[in-house]
Structure 1
Amino acid sequence: MEAKQIEIMDTTLRDGEQTSGVSFSASEKLTIAKLLLEELKVDRIEIASARVSEGEFQAVKGVTNWAKANNYLDKVEVLTFVDKGVSLEWMIEAGAKVQNLLTKGSLNHLTYQLKKTPSQHFTEIKETILNAESKGIETNVYLEDWSNGMRNSKDYVFEFLAFLSTQNVKRIMLPDTLGILTPYESFDFVKQIKDQYPHLHFDFHAHNDYDLGVANVMAGLNAGADGLHLTINGMGERAGNAPMASTIAVINDFMPHIKIAANEKVLYTVSKLVENFSGIMIPANKPVIGANVFTQTAGIHADGDNKKNLYFSELMPERFGRTRKYALGKASGKANIQKNLQELGLQLNDNDLKKVTQRIIELGDKKEVVTKEDLPYIISDVLDSYSYQENVKVNSYALTHAKGLKPSTTVSITINGTVYEQNASGDGQFDAFMNALRGIYKIKKKELPELIDYAVRIPPGSHSDALCETIITWKNATKEFKTRGLDSDQTVSAIKATEKMLNIITN
């Protein structure tokens, strides 16, 4: 049987923006829209609700201007309302050509929110569709609260569908507005509708209130749904919408009877950009795109990966533009250590490897964060080996910070046995310290890596006298890497992390 091509409509910029505390700027909306259509290659995007604000109007205009110039305008959609053409005029003025008309998909919503009869509602919808048609606007129709409608007022839903089947509507959209459905119901409800109207196009719109969004999507597709509504990172109201990344992975791996155009290779890139723009952090254990989901912690898993990839599945990180990592901590075994040593180009004999493994387990028990970049120093500490001695040592430094004066630092360091001193000022004490180092390394005609991230944290619940951990991400011509420093003083912990970086680039 030939696979069925289904549409994916991304609603991150409309439904996803209903996430509490999220509001994308006009330039952010345009950037995300471009990525969704040009890189991720979703079939359609829903970018706004009509009549929201002047800022939203300008944001929509920016997207539609770009879309029109690049032949994407028929893929850009705006949520509109049954309001005698007011929202329709808003979207037309904003340059959009496709309306997603919000109507009532349950008798409860119709009766208690609109206080109208089905015939009154249908008449107004018909007028809105005819008005859109006269202006060259394509119409899709949302049946808001459709899932409760199927549970509690099925006769009304089928009366509504019978009416819509006679109208000039391209797609009928079936939202589980409150995220109440089970996979069994999702399949049953969609199938009943597709069996009766096999030639109409139905989109399924899942929410994730019970963490069943992806399961419900699978069920809806198996029942014959023709399209899906998804959001990047599962953003959306309350618990969010069915997430884009997990859904694409599930379709590609478990549903050979379904075809999609989306490019899974760029999922991680798009997800991280939306994370940055929205300020909503991706949980570390979120499937496909979480920071930890391709990190093996247990040593037995790393050992299995060394022996015929025993712990690999179809969910390979390379598919999503990522790589597998092997964490170092109290659950680490020799195989985890070996994987990280291989990445550093280091080798140890079995006896030395056992000693290093034991030391990492001890650090893990103390809640120490152990990174791949720490390995040379752990090895040096455990084995007392000259092979991995510190070649760079920060001997001393004087940090000055006085009101009205620029912070300055005097630094003394030893590089391969030679002592260097330098003084510099900067915007802060650590900036001054880095400027002094740059002066020293300029003498040596060597550039320092670029600092691209600087994170500081103390243990939860600690007080002002707590140890402070500074994690700095560096980037040189070949790679990104992180170093960590620990001290009761934030600047000193950053200096310790920097000292590690200097040894990494000098070794």
Structure 2
Amino acid sequence: MKKRRVEIMDTTLRDGEQSSGVSFSASEKLTLAKLLLDELKVDRIEIASARVSEGEFESVRQITSWAKEQGYLHKVEVLTFVDNGQSLIWMEKAGAHVQNLLTKGSLNHLTHQLKKTPEAHFKDIESIIQQAAKKGITTNVYLEDWSNGMRNSPDYVFQFIDFLSRQPIKRILLPDTLGVLTHNETARFLSEIIAKYPDCHFDFHGHNDYDLSVANVMEALRAGCHGLHLTVNGMGERAGNAPLASVVAVINDFLPEIKVNVAEKKLYKVSKLVSAFTGFGIPPNKPIVGDNVFTQTAGIHADGDNKNNLYFNDLLPERFGRKRQYALGKTSGKANIQKNLQELGLTLNNDEIKRVTERIIELGDKKEKVTKEDLPFIISDVLDSEKFQQKVFVRSFVLTHSKGLKPSTTVAIEIEGETMEENAQGDGQFDAFMNALRKVYKAKKRHLPNLIDYAVRIPPGSHSDALCETIITWESNGRDFATRGLDSDQTVSAIKATEKMLNII
């Protein structure tokens, strides 16, 4: 079966920039324009609105200068207005060759915003199209609020498209400006239009106010539309536009009769860069590009992946330049741990895996996020505890730190079955703990080693705040030795290192 080619027009740099608080610099726009056309391989990009600002003019000038060298000028588009040709003069100075002319696609907008008759509006549009042709500028026409036009004034919409079908334009752009369409309406409206005007090129421009943009895109394609307008990360005004990554994945997996040029493997890279430039965060559960979408959390899922990939679907992360991950937390099972150990090249026996899993679940219950990079330190801490038979237990402690008062600690220590409590103050919480501990050991006529070094660090390479590692060096009878504690709290990790010391001595 021969596939039908559909154009992808990315409007991140124009419509996506209408996300609240988002503004690209000229250099950022140029960088993204290069990525979108050169690496992601979208067919066209809409980069700016005419006459907005000097900064916008400079960004367009830089992009068109680069595009001209690359032979891409026909792929670079600018939003223009019915303004007696002023937008065209602006475009000409900026070096742009394709205009997307914004017109009124509903009688409601025409009557209340422009206060004109359809005939007067069409006459103004015809004048702009003729001026553009004389300047060598290609024209596409937006029918703003087209979706409401089809709902409430379809006669006007068909009158308008009748007029446009006789004009020397390249494309008619049909936006669901307010994101109000259902998938059924999208299918019905576009099927009717495309059947009536088989020689015209129609683009669909979906918004996501009801979270229906991807469904509407699917119906637009099934109805026969020739192009789609999308944005990276679904950026855009209000709830945003139809998201590029999701739409590309849906086309490739569910619409085998459709072909698009977009390079799937570059979607994640471009997504992250756009997020970095804009500060527009990507929700971790956003399909294709979110941090969590290729992460298995439940242990049963990791186990199923080991047994014939039971929890895989067609959205394999490698398609998008990503890797499947197995989260470590309170729902982790043995299979999750084993998957992460495999990646790290580590092996443990079943008993060791069980104890490491218990430790990770303990951290998860504290709502701590554990990463793969933390795992070697957890393993080391758990296995380190095997070196001695535990006879001393820090059963309980209360740490206080108040402004204007010295820190104090109350501690309960069990030594060979006997529990003793003491309280002391110190220069810090750990110092107070050690002073209380000395009282216990003095009462037992036992000697504590000297603390000669104290180091605290986050495990190297970790991307979480789940763990703090404290390494304390002690001196006893002329011999130095070190113990290590691991916990989400710095003082508690030091107390755990001290408990190990008490058992060693």
TM-score higher than 0.5 here? yes
Contact 1:43 1:261 in 2 (8 A): yes
SS at structure 2 position matched to 1:270: helix
Equivalent in the alignment of 1:196: 196
SS at structure 2 position matched to 1:92: helix
The answer to whether 1:249 aligns with 2:249 is yes
Change (3 A) 1:488 1:386: closer
Equivalent in the alignment of 1:295: 295
Contact 1:174 1:204 in 2 (8 A): yes
Alignment of 1:54-453 (within 5 A): 54-384=54-384
| 1:308 positional shift | 1.1
Q: C-alpha distance in 2, partners of 1:251/1:110?
A: 35
Q: Percent identity?
A: 69
Q: C-alpha distance in 1, partners of 2:86/2:183?
A: 38
SS at structure 1 position matched to 2:177: coil
Q: C-alpha distance in 2, partners of 1:300/1:118?
A: 63
Contact 2:3 2:259 in 1 (8 A): yes
Q: C-alpha distance in 1, partners of 2:100/2:290?
A: 32
TM-score when scaled to structure 1?
Answer: 0.78
Question: How big is the alpha-carbon RMSD for the aligned residues of Structure 1 and Structure 2?
Answer: 2.8
Q: C-alpha distance in 2, partners of 1:182/1:21?
A: 29
Contact 1:380 1:386 in 2 (8 A): no
Paired residues in the alignment total 416
Alignment of 1:9-28 (within 5 A): 9-28=9-28
Contact 1:145 1:176 in 2 (8 A): yes
Q: C-alpha distance in 2, partners of 1:469/1:266?
A: 34
SS at structure 2 position matched to 1:225: coil
Q: C-alpha distance in 1, partners of 2:184/2:487?
A: 52
Change (3 A) 1:299 1:281: same
Q: C-alpha distance in 2, partners of 1:117/1:488?
A: 73
Change (3 A) 1:328 1:43: same
Q: C-alpha distance in 2, partners of 1:454/1:362?
A: 19
Unaligned residue ranges in structure 1 (runs of 5+): 388-419, 422-429, 435-447, 457-467, 472-483, 496-507
Once the two structures are superposed, what CA deviation does each residue of 1:33-55 show, in whole Å capped at 9, x if it has no partner?
Answer: 00000000000000000000011
Change (3 A) 1:454 1:331: closer
Q: C-alpha distance in 1, partners of 2:329/2:223?
A: 45
| 1:386 positional shift | 6.9
| 1:144 positional shift | 0.1
Contact 1:454 1:470 in 2 (8 A): no
Once the two structures are superposed, what CA deviation does each residue of 1:146-176 show, in whole Å capped at 9, x if it has no partner?
Answer: 0000000000000000000000010000000
| 1:372 positional shift | 1.6
Q: C-alpha distance in 2, partners of 1:292/1:193?
A: 40
Change (3 A) 1:470 1:86: farther
Once the two structures are superposed, what CA deviation does each residue of 1:439-464 show, in whole Å capped at 9, x if it has no partner?
Answer: xxxxxxxxx98x8x9887xxxxxxxx
Q: Which amino acid aligns with 2:239?
A: A
Which of structures 1 and 2 has the bigger CA Rg? 2
Unaligned residue ranges in structure 2 (runs of 5+): 388-451, 470-485, 495-505
TM-score when scaled to structure 2?
Answer: 0.78
Equivalent in the alignment of 2:416: none
